[in-house]
Amino acid sequence: MKILVVDDKEEERYLAETMLKGSGYEVVTATNGVEALEKLHAEGFDMIISDILMPGMDGFQLCKKCKEDEKLRDIPFVFHTAEYEEEEDENLALKLGANKFIRKPVEADEFIKVIQGEFRDLEEGKKEPATVGMKILVVEDSEDSRILLTKQLRAYGHEVTPTANGVEALEQALTQPPDIILSDILMPKMDGYQLCREWKQNEQLKNIPFAFYTATYTSDEDKKFALSLGADTFIVKPTEPDTLARILSEIFEKAKSGALAPAKVAPLETSIFLPEYTKRVVAKLEKKVAQLEAEITRRKQVEEELRKQTHQTNERVKELCCLYGISSLERQGISLEEMFRKTVDFLPPRLAVSGSHLCPAHHK
């Protein structure tokens, strides 16, 4: 397997090259996106591993160029970065079409394991292609996440209809039933739990697979409650696009063949549903409140530190102004007595009183 490593730092290129060659891969390096594109068009590669922050053309731009190029778009693209490490950065990378997002520093064994795993997943994907052409209803209130999910799933050949909450999803599904629904939980108007409950009680929709996809409700209790409502699977964000597509395909195929086990649907009675639903929501709110309180405490500490630093800086500026004034008197050749008198004028008020007794005129 031949891999192109793109990084503007010589030591990082050397490190990645050493790790990959030690595992039997052929490696070619480039210092930025421009050089990488030249090499990609000149010779064939099985994978691209790229940093993000680089001169000339950065990693995001390189990934976009590759995915827009018919000859390059199918080459697996892996980001390997230390500067861009937030979840928003990873979301952008995946939105551009990247296969993996690895944060530096990473142990050599773990790095190689990820690369080997990506090659293995690609081979398995060739042997067992995922189901294509599914009609997937996506329910996600975050616009960025909704757009990202839609693009990812459409890339696998699926027909995707995005909606922003449970109310929209129900209206859409009753008009045009999907093959499967993929829903977040924390949403306005009608959240995922309420949507699943309504879905599994509806004669027209109850046999359509329901998959949760959430980053907020992730505990075992959250999952247990979701499954009790009739959900067919519970997926925690973030999940690699290949894995997500495979899970949805497996559930769809099971449902189509009749192999999907009937879900144990919670009774419709509010007296049974509401207590556990309330418990899950309250637990999540308590966690959010605790996070907010911790953030408020941290910000207060930062503000106090900034206030102290500002005070110290202001005092230092006053002292420097005083010293500058004294030095200007010296340059003017003023007598010692006159210098003392004028110096007191330059002193801050708190020092002027205590310093005035030093003036020679007070000792005559």
**pLDDT value of position 33:** 95
106 and 7 co-located in one domain: yes
Which of 234, 268, 302 is the C-terminal boundary of a domain? 268
In angstroms, rounded to a whole number, what is the distance separating the alpha carbons of residues 201 and 232? 14
72 and 151 co-located in one domain: no
Q: Where residue 7 sits, what CATH number does that domain have?
A: 3.40.50.2300
The DSSP annotation for 327-343 comes to HHHHHTT--HHHHHHHH
Q: What are phi and psi of 76, to 5 degrees?
A: -55, 135
In angstroms, rounded to a whole number, what is the distance separating the alpha carbons of residues 83 and 10? 16
Q: Is 233 left (phi over 0), alpha (psi -120 to 50) or beta?
A: beta
295 and 313 co-located in one domain: yes
335 and 356 co-located in one domain: yes
pLDDT at 344 over 80: no
Position 277 in a domain: no
Position 202 in a domain: yes
Q: How many CA atoms lie within 13 A of 15 on its CB side?
A: 15
256 and 139 co-located in one domain: yes
Position 323 in a domain: yes
Which of 216, 235, 268 is the C-terminal boundary of a domain? 268
Instruction: Provide mean pLDDT across the span 339-361.
Output: 57
Position 92 in a domain: yes
**Domains identified in the chain, total number:** 3
**pLDDT value of position 140:** 95
305 and 349 co-located in one domain: yes
Position 67 in a domain: yes
Question: pLDDT per residue over 101-119, tens digit each?
Answer: 998 888 999 999 999 988 8
120 and 174 co-located in one domain: no
Compute how many other C-beta atoms are within 10 angstroms of the C-beta atom of residue 261: 7
In angstroms, rounded to a whole number, what is the distance separating the alpha carbons of residues 45 and 180? 36
146 and 261 co-located in one domain: yes
In angstroms, rounded to a whole number, what is the distance separating the alpha carbons of residues 165 and 229? 18
141 and 40 co-located in one domain: no
Query: Are residues 104 and 150 in contact, defined by beta-carbon separation less than 8 angstroms?
Result: no
The DSSP annotation for 31-55 comes to SSHHHHHHHHHHS--SEEEE-SS-S
Position 247 in a domain: yes
Which of 204, 238, 268 is the C-terminal boundary of a domain? 268
259 and 332 co-located in one domain: no
In the chain, what is the straight-line distance between the N-terminal and C-terminal CA atoms, in Å? 94
Domain residues for 217? 135-268
Give me the sign of the Cα torsion angle 344, 349, 355, 356.
Answer: positive
140 and 195 co-located in one domain: yes
In angstroms, rounded to a whole number, what is the distance separating the alpha carbons of residues 298 and 296? 5
Position 157 in a domain: yes
Question: pLDDT per residue over 181-210, tens digit each?
Answer: 999 998 888 999 999 999 998 999 999 999
Q: Which residues fall within 8 angstroms of residue 146, CB to CB, at 6 or more apart?
A: 138, 140, 162, 164
Question: pLDDT per residue over 139-189, tens digit each?
Answer: 999 998 899 899 889 888 899 999 999 999 999 999 999 999 999 998 888
45 and 71 co-located in one domain: yes
Among the listed ranges 35-44, 243-252, 311-320, 338-347, which one has the minimum average pLDDT value? 338-347
Amino acid, res. 168: E
